[in-house]
Structure formats: structure tokens, C-alpha cells
Structure 1
Amino acid sequence: MATQNPPQISSEEYKEVLKTAFVQCYQTSNDAWSYEEAMREVPVYFLECIGSQKGHILDIGAGSGKDAEILLKEGHSVTGLDLYEHEAWQFLSYTWGDRINFVKSQFTDWQPSAETKFDAVFDNGCFHHQHPSLYFPYLTHLKTLLKPNGIAMLSVFTPLDENTDGSFIDFDEGRIGRSFSVNELQQLLTNHGFIWLDSRRIYRPWHEHYLPVHYLAALVKNQP
């Protein structure tokens, strides 16, 4: 699955491929990430980092809302964004009321009001599926939606060997992934104006249906 070659289609074409792939995964209950224990370690780390002060958090790639629910239980308000409207959204909205708001949209296409700013942004496995030409607009959009000094966490694929550079990953349904080393991700985020604070490798147990990668959760801060 690993390759050094970026996708050969345009970013607009790829956005449609990505949407079709994720809709199919959810509709056929092939969303293994929704039930993966390692994925749920990321919001726990995020909560450790942001401390006890409650705020409004943007959850990019909210999916079935499992991460959003973890954040809600700790007293935060959440806006969950995803390109697929998951059936779990209705139950979570009923349970948590006006503290949760779900939006169906691709992140780079979402244009809320100019006044919309978040205390923190959480991205658990969305950024690493983007077309490389969208890295800049994606991170710029994230930065625009984050308050000055706001905190963001991005969790991405990372190689099993932490001394190895990352690579592109081809999935059967046409979507791509990208693994990053700590140095690669730090350089990318700091070059886009974020202040690097911390990172943690999240280890995945071996499974025959899992990619041979771990996760890397990066904590950054917006400029004042």
C-alpha cells in the first residue's frame, strides 16, 4: 500500500473520490476507525493538553461522534463536521442539546460566518487523507477558524519506525493516506504559522486488517 507517489488526479476530482469512499465505508459498516481503541486515545491526550477550562471545540471529521462525545462528557461544547451525515448525530443531538452541533460538509468547503471562532480544533485522522495540494488551504482555513492562542491537535498516520520518513498510502477504494514523521509534521505545521507545543505517538496493536502504521498526535497553538 505504501508509495512515494502523490495522487495523479486533481484536488477537485479527489474530493469526490474521498467523499464516495467514506460514504461507502459508513453505509457498509466498514468504518473500522470508529471502533479502534487507539483512535480513542487521541481525544484523551487532547483533553490532558487543554486542561480544565471549558470551551467550544471544532471536531473535523466527526464521523459517528465518538470523539465528540468524549469531549462533551468533559463539559465542552462541540461543532462536529463531516462529509457524511451519520445516523448517530440525531441521538447525540437529542442527548446533548445545544452543546453539540453537527454540520455536513467537507472541511475546506465549509464557510461559516466571519465571527465563527473556536477555542480549540481537533482533527483525529482527517488531515492525512487530504490531497497534497490542499495542505495549505486546509491549514490556512483551520488557522482562520481558531482563536488567537487557540489550541489545535492533528492526529495522522506515522511510520512504525519513528526514524523513517513518511509516505503516501493507497487504499482500495481510491482514497489516499499520508504518514508523517515527527520532523515532517513539525516542519509542515510551523511553516504554516503554528507554534509547535508537543506530540505523542499512539501505538496500534498489530491486526491483519490494519495498516502497518501508528498514529502521531501533534499539539500546536495559533499565533497571538
Structure 2
Amino acid sequence: MKEVIGEHKDILVMLDHLLKEQSKFNWDNFYSERDRGIPFFVNYPDENLVSYFENNLIKPGRVLELGCGPGRNALYFAEMGCSVDAVDLSQESIQWAKERATEKNTNVNFINKNIFELELAEGQYDIVYDSGCFHHIAPHRRMSYINLVKKALKPNGFFALTCFIPGGELGGAEISDWEVYRMMSLKGGLGYTEEKLREIFKDFKEIEIRKMLEIEQPNNLFGVKGLTTALFQK
């Protein structure tokens, strides 16, 4: 790769590489140890996602999931009658998700790719869902993320996410955007207040922002402390 900055996208690529060079974290290694007791390794959907359907806030349609991990939410969408494209950077997580889909005899189009390398037509999806991807997005990619969601959604489509609160039990670095680059680290994932989410997604209509409910396991729902859930409409 030539280390030359000739246009705006070259700056984004440079910052991507600089942050990656400083991080020893590897998502494939993370997902290869399936029995480590990670809370969201369970094969149940987010409690907020289920509530959106039960309260008729969203209806079955075409779904794009960003950062699908082992596929628990993607499979739930499919079981609810949705057509699902589910994307993750980790080959290990995609393989695990495909195995789960086979076990459930459920059809999901799993895609092993960086979300910023997706080739999307304008207005393809009724729903864009993100459970735990956004808080791993570096500040310099935030506008790219917002533009991706806007482009993917149909008019009046829905965007939902689950992310770390600042200083939460599972993560949520309490640092400024500038500090990310001073330290060359996201500190495991950035924390977002409800006010910050409203500011970032101000071009969307807010439907609901609340803390995720804690769901005691075993259960057929996933819910833990330290996460905020949000539902917006384009």
C-alpha cells in the first residue's frame, strides 16, 4: 500500500491502519474460543429487538445487520419473516453464525466483510440493526457509518442499535474523540450517553432510547446492564 494522501478517503484509511497497528486485539481469536462465557455468545436475541416486534414498532421486512457476530439477532429477524443480510469482519463469527443457521434450518445471508466496503444500492432496507458494532467505530469513521445507514435505509426505514454506556460493566471508555488519537486506542469500545446518541443521529427521528433490561439466564432473551438501546427512524 502506498502511504500517500491524495484525497479524503486516504486519510480515513491511514487512521484505520494507525489504530489497528496499536491494537493487539483480534476478532477471529475472540470468536474462536466459543466456551469462554462471553455474555453475548448466547444464542438469544436482544430483549429490545424482541420488544420492537411485540410492540409493533417495526414489522418484518428486509434487514441489514452490522456486526452480526455469531448471528443470534440475524436468526431472530429471519424467524420473524425478514429477509436478512448480516455482516461481520470476523471470519470465525460468520462461520459460527452459519452453523447456528444450519442447526435452526434458517436462511440468512451472512457476509464476511468490513461494513465500509459494502456495495449498497440506495434505499435497499427497511431495517438496519447494530448490536455492539457502533461503539467499536473510531470517530473518524463515524460520518461514514451514518452515511452508510442513511443510504441503506428506505424512506421511513428504522435504525436500531445497542451500545456501551460510559463506564459500563462490559466496557464504555469515557474518553473524548481527540483522546482516541492521543492514545491511539478505543480502549475496548467507546461509551455513549443518551444525549450523545441524540446528537450523533440528529438527522433521524427518535422513537425510543433506554437502558437495556437485565435478563436473568437461562432465558430466551438477551439483556445485560451497561448497554443503551436506541431506535430511530429515517
Partner of 1:21: 26
Partner of 1:209: none
Following superposition, the deviation at residue 90 of structure 1 comes to 3.1
Q: Is contact 1:38-1:202 (8 Å) kept?
A: no
Q: Whose strand fraction is larger, Structure 1's or Structure 2's?
A: 1
Q: Is contact 2:79-2:106 (8 Å) kept?
A: no
TM-score by length of 1: 0.74
CA distance in 1, matches of 2:52, 2:135: 18
Q: Is contact 1:128-1:156 (8 Å) kept?
A: yes
Give yes or no for the alignment of 1:153 onto 2:176: no
CA distance in 2, matches of 1:217, 1:52: 15
Count residues in correspondence.
Answer: 199
What is the DSSP-based 3-state SS (H/G/I as helix, E as strand, rest coil) of the residue aligned with 2:40? Answer: helix
Following superposition, the deviation at residue 36 of structure 1 comes to 5.6
Partner of 2:99: 91
- Closer/same/farther in 2, CA of residues 195 and 54 from structure 1, 3 Å limit: same
Pair member with larger Rg: 2
What is the DSSP-based 3-state SS (H/G/I as helix, E as strand, rest coil) of the residue aligned with 1:179? Answer: coil
- From 110, 113, 117, the equivalent of 1:109 is 117
Partner of 1:199: 209
- Closer/same/farther in 2, CA of residues 160 and 36 from structure 1, 3 Å limit: farther
- From 57, 66, 70, the equivalent of 1:60 is 66
Following superposition, the deviation at residue 141 of structure 1 comes to 0.9
CA distance in 2, matches of 1:32, 1:220: 28
Give yes or no for the alignment of 1:187 onto 2:192: no
Partner of 1:5: none
CA distance in 1, matches of 2:123, 2:42: 31
- Closer/same/farther in 2, CA of residues 70 and 80 from structure 1, 3 Å limit: same
What is the DSSP-based 3-state SS (H/G/I as helix, E as strand, rest coil) of the residue aligned with 1:96? Answer: coil
- Closer/same/farther in 2, CA of residues 153 and 43 from structure 1, 3 Å limit: same
Partner of 2:138: 131
Give yes or no for the alignment of 1:40 onto 2:50: no
Q: Is contact 1:56-1:118 (8 Å) kept?
A: yes
Q: Is contact 2:124-2:153 (8 Å) kept?
A: yes
TM-score by length of 2: 0.71
Following superposition, the deviation at residue 194 of structure 1 comes to 1.4
- From 83, 87, 93, the equivalent of 1:81 is 87
CA distance in 2, matches of 1:42, 1:18: 31
- Closer/same/farther in 2, CA of residues 120 and 213 from structure 1, 3 Å limit: same
Q: Is contact 2:88-2:111 (8 Å) kept?
A: yes
Mark the runs of 5 or more structure 2 residues left unpaired by the alignment. 1-13, 216-223
Q: Which runs of 4+ in 1 moved over 4 A?
A: 15-20, 36-39, 49-52
Q: Deviations over 1:179-206 (max 9, x none)?
A: 111111111110xx2122211201458x
Mark the runs of 5 or more structure 1 residues left unpaired by the alignment. 1-8, 206-211
Following superposition, the deviation at residue 93 of structure 1 comes to 5.0
CA distance in 2, matches of 1:160, 1:175: 11
Partner of 1:215: 227
CA distance in 1, matches of 2:123, 2:58: 22
